[in-house]
Every structure is written in C-alpha cells, then in structure tokens.
C-alpha cells in the first residue's frame, strides 16, 4: 500500500471507532497485532523494517472495515445508534468513579430501559479492571458468588466424566475472593441486584468488610444497580444500609434553573438519538419523537427502530403519522 492509502485506511478505522462508539480495545481484538502496534502505525512511528508485515497489518484493517460495512448493510431497517454519553450515563459514570476511587459502596436505581445496564457495560469496557456481574431472577447466592469467584480467577474442578464442574463450598469461595480482592482497589458492579436474596446481599457486604485495611478503610469499591425495588430491600437490611455512601436515581435531572425534571433523557440526548437515525429530522419531528418516546432511552430507541423499518419497507416519509404508527408496534397496549 502507498503511504496515502495507508493513512486512508487508518483514518477510516479511526472514524469507525468514533462513529460506532466501540472502544479501541474491543476493536483491536479483531486483529493479530497489538494496540501498541496499531498506535505506532497510526502515529507514523512504526519501527519495523519488513514492509510486507506492515502491509499485512493494513490489509487486516481493510478486511475488518469491509466486513463491518457488509454487516451494517445486511441490517437494513435496524436503527444503529452510536453510544452517546446521555445525562443518565454521566450520573452512572460519576457514581461508579467515586466508588472506585474512594473504595466505597454505592447504589444506582432507575426505571426499566433507562440505560443502567448499558452504562454499566460501557464503564466496564472503559475500565477493564472493573468486575461486572449481571444477575438474573434464577440466581441463588451460590450462583452469584460462583460468578464472582470465577471473575477473580477461581475455577471449578471438572468431574471424571467431564460433564460438570464441582465448585468449593460457599465459605471457601468467599475466602478465595477476599484473598484475591483485598487491597486490589477494583470496582465490583452488580447489575439487576434486585434479584439477589438477602443472603446474597449480605455475602457481598461481608466480602467488602473483610477487604477493609487495618485502619478500617475500604480496599475495593462496590456498586449495586437495579430497579427502585432494590432500595426497599436495602432499607430493610441495616447491616448494609449504613455502609452505603452514594445513592443516585436515574431519570431525574436538573435544568438550567436547577429545577428537577423527571425525565430519562435531556432534550440534547433526544436530538442526538433521532439525528443519528434520521439526519434530516426537523426540530418538530425531534419533539414528536421525544413525546412519543416519553424521554425513555430504551423506548425511544425502539420507536426509532420501528420507524426506520416502516419508512424503508413502505417508502413512507418521515412524519408524525409514521411516529405514531411506530409506537403501535413498539409498545404493548
């Protein structure tokens, strides 16, 4: 490849990363070379002498970009909204960063589809040392602690038949977890924590306690996220309630007059979402989407997705009628 072509493919990859919101770390996993090698290629400081190797790396980038382009073209009719740091995300990020830096326990709650899980995963993506565990309704205390046990390097013993793994008893897993985490200054995020039993919550609390240093200061951070039901659980659990240092509720933001507005998105958030799918949308159409989506990030994305499909399949112009039609297929009556 000529120098101009080399620069072109690298610029295209940079634009791809910026446009999609996918982290550089995640993109680099698609290549045979390291992030450091890519940075040297991008910055023009690559010290290798074999130009064939350099050309091989650049071809890998081109193949990746072409395959991503084909994949996006195959997903016609699906609204692909790049990651945008919404107000909710900024609140989540601030709380997580405080819990991580000061090694405290925090709680973030919010209504469904307000972006809690996406924010948690994005924070994990940007801070690789973070441990992220997403609970399900079926989680017992043993399953929850097993997930954490595996996240810090623990592993079960495979039976002779090879059909299943046998894990240590709960106390032994907790001891292993404490040994691995104490002093590590890592952040643990437990998503959908309303599914945890009191025993599960208490076990996480005891792990945080056992990781305290000689002066009684925390050496790990913990962040619980979930629906507002989580707060009622914690209020009935004094052993943990008194240890919570930070609590934030998503879906409430302050406007320029410092008045609290009960919304899941700001007007700027809505505008970014809509324009990323319908670049020519007018301010009136954006307002129509905002009202239809009830300022709920997840619901608005669903309406945009349905609206794009209806528009492309039926060749319909962008209008309030289209938005209302999209709403009918995006929300149960």
Handedness of CA 124, 109, 116, 97 (dihedral sign): negative
**Three-state SS at 188:** strand
Handedness of CA 246, 247, 250, 254 (dihedral sign): negative
Classify 295 in phi/psi space as left (phi over 0), alpha (psi -120 to 50) or beta.
Answer: left
Output the DSSP codes for 76-134.
TT---PPP---HHHHHHHHHHHHHHHHT-EEEEE--TTSSHHHHHHHHHHHSTT-EEEE
Alpha-carbon radius of gyration of the chain = 24
Q: What pLDDT does 309 receive?
A: 87
Q: What pLDDT does 141 receive?
A: 96
Reduced 3-state DSSP string for 212-231 = CCCCCCCCCEEEEEECCHHH
Distances in Å between the alpha carbon of 189 and those of 107, 198, 213? 10, 17, 21
**What is the token pair recorded at 252?**
């409430």
State the Cα–Cα distance between residues 247 and 325, nearest whole angstrom.
Answer: 38
**What is the token pair recorded at 17?**
């990363």
Distances in Å between the alpha carbon of 133 and those of 64, 124, 212, 285, 328? 30, 10, 22, 38, 34
CA dihedral 161, 165, 171, 174 (to 10 degrees): 150
Instruction: Tokens 């056992």: give the residue.
Output: 210
Number of helices (H) and strands (E) in the chain: give both, helices first.
15, 9
State the Cα–Cα distance between residues 77 and 70, nearest whole angstrom.
Answer: 14
State the Cα–Cα distance between residues 115 and 250, nearest whole angstrom.
Answer: 9
What is the chain's pLDDT, residue by residue, as a tens digit (333 residues)?
A: 445 666 788 888 888 888 777 888 888 877 877 888 888 888 888 777 777 888 888 888 888 887 776 565 444 445 567 788 888 999 999 999 999 999 999 999 998 888 899 999 999 999 999 999 999 888 999 999 999 999 999 988 766 655 567 889 999 999 999 999 999 999 999 999 999 999 999 999 999 999 999 999 999 999 999 998 899 888 888 888 888 999 999 987 766 777 777 788 889 999 999 999 999 999 999 999 999 998 988 889 889 989 988 888 888 899 999 999 999 877 665
Contact at 8 Å (CB) between 86 and 265?
A: yes
Contact at 8 Å (CB) between 208 and 222?
A: yes
Q: What contacts 146, CB < 8 A, 6 or more positions away?
A: 156, 167, 173
- Which pTM does this prediction carry? 0.71
Contact at 8 Å (CB) between 292 and 322?
A: no
Q: Is 120 exposed, middle or buried (0-12, 13-18, 19+ CB in 10 A)?
A: buried
- The CB density around residue 46, as the number of other CB atoms within 10 Å, is 16
Distances in Å between the alpha carbon of 40 and those of 35, 43, 46, 299? 9, 5, 5, 42
State the Cα–Cα distance between residues 149 and 175, nearest whole angstrom.
Answer: 10
């Amino acid at each position: 490849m000529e120098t101009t072509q080399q620069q072109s493919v690298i610029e295209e990859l940079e634009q791809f990363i910026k446009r999609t919101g996918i982290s550089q770390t995640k993109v680099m996993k698609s290549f045979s070379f390291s992030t450091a090698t890519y940075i040297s290629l991008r910055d023009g400081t690559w010290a290798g002498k074999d130009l064939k190797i350099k050309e091989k790396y650049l071809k890998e980038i081109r193949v990746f970009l072409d395959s991503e382009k084909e994949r996006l073209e195959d997903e016609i009719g699906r609204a692909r909204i790049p990651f945008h740091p919404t107000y909710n995300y900024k609140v989540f990020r601030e709380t997580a960063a405080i819990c991580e830096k000061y090694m405290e326990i925090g709680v973030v709650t919010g209504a469904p589809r307000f972006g809690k899980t996406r924010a948690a995963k994005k924070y994990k993506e940007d801070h690789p040392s973070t441990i992220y565990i997403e609970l399900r309704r079926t989680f017992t205390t043993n399953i929850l602690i097993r997930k954490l046990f595996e996240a810090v390097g623990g592993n079960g013993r495979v039976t002779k038949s090879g059909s299943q793994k046998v894990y240590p008893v709960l106390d032994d897993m907790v001891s292993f977890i404490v040994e691995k985490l104490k002093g590590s200054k890592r952040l643990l995020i437990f998503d959908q924590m309303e599914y945890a039993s009191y025993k599960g919550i208490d076990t996480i609390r005891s792990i945080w306690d056992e990781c305290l240093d000689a002066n009684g200061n925390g050496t790990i951070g913990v962040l619980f996220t979930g629906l507002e039901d989580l707060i009622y659980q914690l209020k009935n659990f004094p052993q943990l309630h008194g240890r919570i240092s930070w609590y934030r509720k998503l879906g409430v933001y302050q406007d320029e007059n410092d008045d609290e507005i009960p919304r899941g998105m700001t007007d700027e958030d809505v505008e970014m979402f809509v324009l990323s799918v319908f670049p020519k949308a007018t301010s009136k159409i954006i307002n129509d989407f905002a009202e239809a989506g009830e300022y709920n990030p997840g619901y608005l994305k669903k309406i945009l997705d349905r609206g794009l499909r209806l528009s492309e399949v039926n060749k319909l112009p962008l209008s309030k009628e289209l938005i209302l039609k999209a709403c009918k297929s995006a929300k149960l009556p």
